[in-house]
């Protein structure tokens, strides 16, 4: 389980794994694109890390329920169903974002 983050600014991606504890990962500098140094908003980064760790725990619980309670095995993942479309029509898109309509 990991986050795959796509940077539309440079067109490249990177992965973030839920290693260590949540607070340590939040303090790391993965909130910047390792390819072009574009920055993710700090609050948004924290939300992403919490969701990553929460999803990891949910999948561990689902696997445990399968083994211990013989429930069907489920796994949860999050997949972006849209990329770089503006959900808010009056969003102020900053200059320098080449691929946002
Ligand atoms: Zn980038």
- pLDDT at position 98 over 60: no
pTM of the model: 0.69
Between 96 and 4, the more confident residue is: 4
Q: Are 7 and 36 in contact (CB under 8 A)?
A: yes
Confidence bin at 18 (pLDDT 50/70/90): confident
Q: How far is the CA of 16 from the centre of ligand 1 (A)?
A: 14
Q: Are 60 and 53 in contact (CB under 8 A)?
A: no
d(CA 29, CA 31): 5
- pLDDT at position 16 over 60: yes
Q: How far is the CA of 60 from the centre of ligand 1 (A)?
A: 32
Q: How far is the CA of 10 from the centre of ligand 1 (A)?
A: 4
Backbone angles phi, psi at 17, to 5 degrees: -105, 145
Between 64 and 95, the more confident residue is: 64
- pLDDT at position 60 over 70: yes
Q: How far is the CA of 24 from the centre of ligand 1 (A)?
A: 23
Q: Please state the domain extents for the chain.
A: 3-55
Q: How far is the CA of 55 from the centre of ligand 1 (A)?
A: 25
Q: What is the pLDDT of residue 97?
A: 52
d(CA 49, CA 68): 28
Confidence bin at 95 (pLDDT 50/70/90): low
- Mean of the per-residue pLDDT values of the chain: 81
């Amino acid at each position: 389980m990991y986050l795959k983050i796509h940077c539309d600014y440079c067109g490249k991606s990177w992965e973030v794994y839920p290693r260590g504890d949540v607070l340590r990962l939040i303090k790391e500098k993965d909130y910047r694109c390792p390819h072009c140094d574009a920055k993710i908003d700090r609050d948004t980064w924290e939300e992403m890390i919490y969701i990553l760790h929460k999803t990891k725990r949910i999948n561990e619980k689902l696997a445990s329920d399968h083994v211990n309670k013989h429930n069907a095995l489920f796994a949860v993942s999050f997949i972006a169903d849209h990329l770089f479309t503006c959900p808010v029509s009056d969003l102020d898109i900053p200059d320098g974002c080449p691929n946002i309509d």
